[in-house]
Amino acid sequence: MLRIALRNVFAHKARLVMTALAVLLGVAFVSGTLIFGDTTANAYRTAAGASLKGVAVSVQSQVQYRIAGTGGPDGTPSSTLDTALADKIRALPGVAAVRPTVNGMVTVAGKDGLPVNTDRALLNLATNYLPGKDSRISLKEGRGPAAEGELALDARTAAKAGYRIGDTVRFAIDGPGLAKKLVGTVTTDDPRVNAGGTLTLFDTRTAQRLFLHPGQFHEMAVAAKPGTDPSELTDRVRALLPDKGTRATSREDLAAEQAEQIGEHTGFLTKTLLGFAGIALFIGAFIIANTFTMLIAQRSREIALMRAVGASRRQVVRAVLIEAALLGFGASAVGFVLGIGIATVMRPLLNASGAGLPAGPLIISQGTVIWSLVVGVLITVLAAWLPSRKAAKIAPVAALSSVDQAPPARALVVRNVLGTLLTGSGALLMLYIYTVDSTDQTYLLVAMLGAALTIVGIIVQAPLLSRPLITLAGKATTRLFGVTGKLAKENALRNPRRTAATASALMVGLALVTGLTVVGHSTERALIADATQGLSADYTVANTITTGLEVDAAAKIARVPGVAAAVPTTVASASTGGTNFFTITGTDPKTYGKAANLDFRAGSLRDIGPGKVAVSDEFATKAGLEVGSTLDVGAITGRSEKEVKLKLKVVGVYTKTPTTEDALGTLADTLPYSDSKKLKEVLVMAEPGQAAGLERKIRAALGDSPLVEVQSHEQAIKDGGADIGTVLKMMYGLLGMALLISVVGVVNTLAMSVFERTREIGMLRAIGLDRTGIKQMVRLESVVISLFGAALGIGTGIFLAWAGGGLVRSSMDTYETLLPWGELGIFLGLALVIGVLAAIWPARRAARLNMLQSIQSS
């Protein structure tokens, strides 16, 4: 059986090459993902290890806030780690050195005045520079900061912002803009900076003044003398620490914590990529099963002869599976090599989209090699198992007179019943998901199960669905192309299971692409609505971090020439008792109507005043409120979490909008209970014809602080869908592999179908069909099969997106399923192109067949 399997592989190598390509691409995706995951995790570990170089114990402070809010003299955070404690630790036995550090966040402005790296504000790091003591930081140019008016930047940020040594750098911490002289640039192994963040360095006294108090630190890195036991040193350090507000962690524990965080960070990305690799292999399984089914049909006489000379059914199955295993092993080996190339280019591709992954050597583990080969061989063998059982059932005599037989009617009946049950079960689960109003992860798992059952059910039912859909397409091809169109239709209908298996590979890819596109498009529109619905302001002024704007910001903006109105807003969290939380927006009711559009069902903005609020229609229904009701509020005041009872009179009811949600009151009533005691944003209306160029003037009025974000209405719309667009592009790239494999499936099926119909093609040539007609027939057959797969895929994807949208709608009130007709038209056109391209080689091969030799073939 082994010799027979080897002979069959070499005898049909041309027919198996496309199948091997499907396995190869799938395994390449798997191996590339595993190698990329190991490489990325190792790069993060290396960077984290560099940050722990020379550190035996890390002492960290839990910063205490004196009052709610930060930035003011009384609200500056305070640390229990001070110079006196650092001196005590230095005096401990076994301590070689102590490196005290101050940490903060700084937003740097470029030379053009615009903030740098606003999309990663939490990665805009700052610390004190310790010459020769910090192994994480290396000077690249100039020197380190040594006086109050100096700073240094990491080299990438300096280049991005356009600064050179000697330039004045503008930056902000939490308030007005500041300026210091750039005296040096550095490089660092900190993975946060390498992931796209910024690093600003000050001398120690300046860093303490900006982020803490004189003589205080956020962290102390303790280095040990040679031969010192790390555990004993950690215990000694802990004995010196205050009871509250600090903790000491040994290097080993800190490394373990970092390893866990790295595993979580890289594990999600790896699992996501493996999910798409699984989709590619799933689609490849259709091609493998289809190929072996056709090969067995073409070799039925050969198999019958084997049975006649004494081969048992088990031996026939074994021969087919050995053949599949050999094919899978060879394709997997080549796929693994291709996967190395994929892993090599994946990091720069992701970094081009802003991922900020650290560099490192390529890591190829033994487990990755084994898993890649095992997965490829296993998928191939499993896909060939059903065809092998079919081969074993060929009778020694009955099959000698026939090359291909239609599947028995009973088999299709059983298949259709099973497909109906699977599709029905999946559809019911998805309809249930459509009705839920929760973001619980359990419902996500139910939705995934429902989607899987629906797709598998459609695949099983595809032979039944192929006849009406292909007949409909055949009417168009017959009308447009005459006899060649009719022949193409009949060829596609000749073996429904084969046609369905070929189309299913394309269907799965297009179903996923369509579903993602519909959900992404609908979410993008919902995000834009959240950002702009109900607002008519020309500009929205806010803070790039969460601390907000100073209370007098609106007054400063109102004095800018060209500004018609500057409306301050703030937000406070409140509750009506228990867990009934809501948000109350505070503003100036006299001017709010100029910047926002509210549809009042009762009352008006003019009725809002001290102790008087308007509520949204949804909140009024939920809380049982109406005009004249009293709203009892427990407002949470910032970090102290002290509840204050308020009684507010309801004087209006308006239609809820994303920008004015539950309640609307005065700024004076709301500001004391907001988290930061600051403004959330200022809505700016420009004088007629004066909107252009106001951004620069508004920034200047607020001290040119890099923290200030001045966003126009058009920019808000653009930014609302920017993240979704980036995600969709990445998803398209990942699913492109699945679509490529489906193209291979169409090519493979057509090529083997041409071989199978060699005599028939010769007869068609003999009765007058020319080479052009033969090409057109094969090409139209390919197009019909591709359009059949596209119809199933696009239809299934739309249904899954509509039903699954219930999960998104539960957390996004403005979400509704919207069909992106342009993209759907592109997908249908893509299927048409796939059909045409996939038929190029099979059509040329069919047209070049010798007429007489084809008629004589059997």
Would you list the DSSP string of 625-680? --TT-EEEEEEEEGGGTEEEEEEEEEEEEE--BTTB-SEEEEHHHHGGGSSSSSBS
Residue 413: the pLDDT is: 80
DSSP designation for 683 = E
- 723 DSSP assignment: H
d(C-alpha 582, C-alpha 656), whole Å: 13
For the cut 80, the answer to whether the pLDDT of residue 304 exceeds it is: no
Nearest-angstrom CA–CA distance, 15 and 37: 35
What average pLDDT does range 50-61 have in this prediction? 81
Beta carbons of 433 and 806 less than 8 angstroms apart: yes
Q: What is the 3-state secondary structure (H, E, C) of 598-639?
A: CCEEECCHHHCECCEEEEEHHHHHHHCCCCCCEEEEEEEEHH
| 284 token code pair | 């490849």
- CB atoms near residue 117 (< 10 Å): 19
pLDDT value, residue 566: 92
Residue 406 pLDDT grade (very low, low, confident, very high; cuts 50, 70, 90): very low
* 178-188/150-154 β-pairing: parallel
Q: Where are the alpha helices (DSSP H) in 436-495?
A: 441-481, 483-494
Percentage of residues in the chain having pLDDT higher than 90: 23
Q: What pLDDT is stored for residue 502 in this prediction? A: 81
Residue 219 dihedral angles phi and psi, to the nearest 5°: -155, 150
β-partners of residue 184 are 142, 152
Q: How confident is the model at residue 153 (pLDDT cuts 50, 70, 90)?
A: very high
Sign of CA dihedral 515, 516, 519, 520: negative
pLDDT at residue 276, as a whole number: 76
For residue 13, the model assigns a pLDDT of: 58
Average pLDDT for 65-76: 44
55: how many CB neighbours lie within 10 A of its CB? 20
Q: Over 50: is that where the pLDDT of 71 sits?
A: no
Q: Tell me how long the chain is.
A: 858
What pLDDT shows up at residue 643?
Answer: 59
Task: Please give the structure tokens belonging to residue 100.
Answer: 């005290």
Residue 68 — very low, low, confident or very high, per pLDDT cuts 50/70/90?
very low
Q: Who wins on pLDDT, 178 or 151?
A: 151
Least confidently predicted of 165-169, 442-446, 672-676: 672-676
Rounded to whole angstroms, the Cα distance separating 366 from 343 reads 16
Distance of CA 149 to the CA centre of its chain: 42
Q: What is the DSSP string of 272-328?
A: HHHHHHHHHHHHHHHHHHHHHHHHHHHTHHHHHHHHHTT--HHHHHHHHHHHHHHHH
* Structure tokens, 691: 């909107």
Task: Assign 578 a pLDDT band (cuts: 50, 70, 90).
Answer: low
Q: Token pair of 434, please?
A: 């459509």
Mean pLDDT for the chain overall: 82
Q: Is pLDDT above 50 for 200?
A: yes
The SS3 of residue 356 is coil
Q: Of 136, 134, 264, nearest to 193 (Cα)?
A: 136
What is residue 66's predicted lDDT score, i.e. its pLDDT? 42
- Condensed to tens digits (0 to 9), the pLDDT of residues 788-808 reads 999 999 999 999 999 988 788
Q: Which of 672-676, 708-712, 790-794 has the lowest mean pLDDT?
A: 672-676
Q: Exposed, middle or buried by CB within 10 Å (0-12, 13-18, 19+), for 492?
A: buried
In angstroms, rounded to a whole number, what is the distance separating the alpha carbons of residues 626 and 631? Answer: 10
From CA 138, how far away is CA 285, in angstroms rounded?
52
| 3-state SS, one letter per residue, for 22-91 | HHHHHHHHHHHHHHHHHHHHHHHHHHHHHHCCCCCEEEEECCECCCCCCCCCCCCCECCEEHHHHHHHHC
pLDDT of residue 449 exceeding 60, the answer is: yes
Question: Residue 402: pLDDT above 60?
Answer: no
CA atoms within 13 A on the CB side of 827: 33
Short-list 658, 832, 841, 680, CA closest to 14: 841
Determine the Cα–Cα distance for residues 161 and 115; give it in Å rounded to an integer: 9
Q: Which pLDDT score, from 0 to 100, does residue 72 have?
A: 39
What is the structure's pLDDT at 158?
Answer: 94
Give Cα separations from 622 to 235, 576, 767 (angstroms): 55, 11, 78
Cα gap 563→576, rounded to integer Å = 38
Rounded CA Rg of the chain:
34
Which candidate, 679, 663, 673, 668, places its Cα nearest to that of 636?
673
The burial of 436, by beta-carbon neighbours within 10 Å (0-12 exposed, 13-18 middle, 19 or more buried), is given as middle
Token couple for 638: 């910032």
Strands 581-587 and 663-666: parallel
- Amino acid identity, position 48: A
Cβ(659)–Cβ(537) below 8 Å: no
Say what the pLDDT of residue 726 is: 67
pLDDT of residue 69: 37
Q: Are 326 and 9 in contact (CB under 8 A)?
A: yes
Give the start-to-end residue ranges of the domains of the chain: 1-55+251-405, 56-250, 462-533+713-858, 550-701
pLDDT higher than 80, residue 303: no
Per-residue pLDDT at 355: 64
The span from the CA of 268 to the CA of 263, in Å, is 8
Q: Which residue has the higher pLDDT, 638 or 344?
A: 344
C-alpha to C-alpha distance for 86 and 46, rounded to whole angstroms: 28
- Whether 73 has a pLDDT exceeding 50, the answer reads no
Higher pLDDT, 113 or 211: 211
Backbone angles phi, psi at 81, to 5 degrees: -90, 115
- pLDDT beyond 70 at 328: yes
Instruction: Pick the range with the lowest mean pLDDT from 243-247, 437-441, 552-556.
Output: 437-441
Report the pLDDT averaged over residues 234-247: 88
Contact 626, 617 (CB under 8 A): no
Relative to beta strand 563-575, strand 630-637 is antiparallel
Check whether 508 has a pLDDT greater than 50: yes
